[in-house]
Chains A and B, each alone.
Chain A
């Protein structure tokens, strides 16, 4: 991913945090997490997926179960 895309995501995320839009936060983290995994950035990818998972849990969003499975399969969640 080039520097420019990353910048756009950071701005998007900051905005979502500003307005407290947890659903959006989950979307941004997980979207980016999966991109990172695909690009072989394993540590960073699971970091972001964990972030997405936690906010999904907090809000009771349905995404939580898929994110949990992803982490569990990778041996990162029990």
Chain B
């Protein structure tokens, strides 16, 4: 069996190999990657649309950690560890909307939606609700750094990690045109896929356009392979773009309104980017989509997607059929990929597979992801 080191990945793409099999099948590597590729980075955990209203709270377990996504009464997003500062009870198990506070089910310590500890009933004895040894102001919920970008809620557990803006300055500049309000329609603009593969394979596959004519033949009729270009970053994202983008039309030829004040460059351009580690994004002049990959274990991933429109009008009844058509189109594209990402997962059980090779012309974006992974693991 060939032994591959991570250095073999850092090579020039003409010589470079991909990540070795154990990065896809080993539980041990999965937990190492959880530490280094997630906890130390900014990673996506959900969407703003998961908590659309003030007072909405969603508990979730992401890569093992219990967290709360909260929209406070002023409408701002907070992320907390879902653990009571008293005896470490998980605070909430089910999502809810509240006009009040978060009450721990164990001894009823109560926290505001900004995380402050507000009440500690009977803590000083029956009917005495404070004690000088317990300073409420030091016992608020542990707040997790978060940032909303294209409606994805990103968090980091690292103290040293730069701000999200600094980490992703390159992409911010590239997509400055899309720093706009987004409009979301719950009933037809979200979907979820369960895939039996390591989360990295979904990212790798999304990065490149090499597979389009084979896996998405329909897509290839509207947007041919030669219309695509690679998107290469200095570090933490990569992807592909199309120079033949054409807006989708309904039976009557109607199109969605476009984002306001957007450069004419986007008239025929669309771009698709994997933001490392686990977020995939696509932008078009009239809608965008965001996807969060939720790794369940080393060989199971849930892909959650949302589609957002440029104008409130696009959510109206006159666009019902077009929205439906658009959602169906994207869901179908991502479904078509399931067979290949699951197939690559099965292939990682091979005894001889050695990380494989990349097309030097077509797969620089995938290579960039592998290099990113290898480099993060070195530290």
Contacts and interface: CB of A to CB of B under 8 A. Distances in A.
A6 interface: no
18 contacts: A46-B126, A46-B127, A49-B127, A50-B122, A56-B100, A57-B100, A57-B103, A57-B110, A57-B119, A58-B98, A58-B101, A59-B99, A60-B101, A71-B129, A76-B127, A76-B128, A77-B129, A78-B129
Nearest to B112: A57
Contacts of A47: 122, 126-127
B325 interface: no
Interface residues of A, number: 21
Contact of B100 (A49, A50, A51, A61): A61
A54 interface: yes
A57 B101 contact: yes
Nearest to B99: A60
Contact of A60 (B100, B121, B122): B100
Interface string B106-133: 0010100000001101100011111000
Interface string B172-195: 000000000000000000000000
Interface string A43-71: 10111011101111111110010000001
Interface of B: 98-103, 108, 110, 118-119, 121-122, 126-130
Nearest to A61: B100
A76 to B, nearest CB: 5
Given A47-B126, A59-B100, A60-B101, 16 more contacts: A45-B127, A46-B126, A46-B127, A47-B127, A53-B119, A54-B103, A54-B121, A57-B101, A57-B110, A59-B99, A60-B98, A60-B99, A64-B100, A77-B129, A77-B130, A78-B130
Nearest to B125: A43
A76 B130 CA distance: 7
B127 A50 contact: yes
A61 B123 CA distance: 22
Contacts of B127: 43, 45-47, 49-50, 71, 76
Interface of A: 43, 45-47, 49-51, 53-61, 64, 71, 76-78
B21 to A, nearest CB: 51
Contacts of A60: 98-101
A75 to B, nearest CB: 8
Q: Which one of B101, B108, B129 has the highest number of Cβ atoms from chain A below 10 Å of its Cβ?
A: B129
Contacts of B103: 54-55, 57-58
Residue of A55, A57, A61 with most partner-chain B CB within 10 A: A57
Contact of B121 (A45, A50, A78): A50
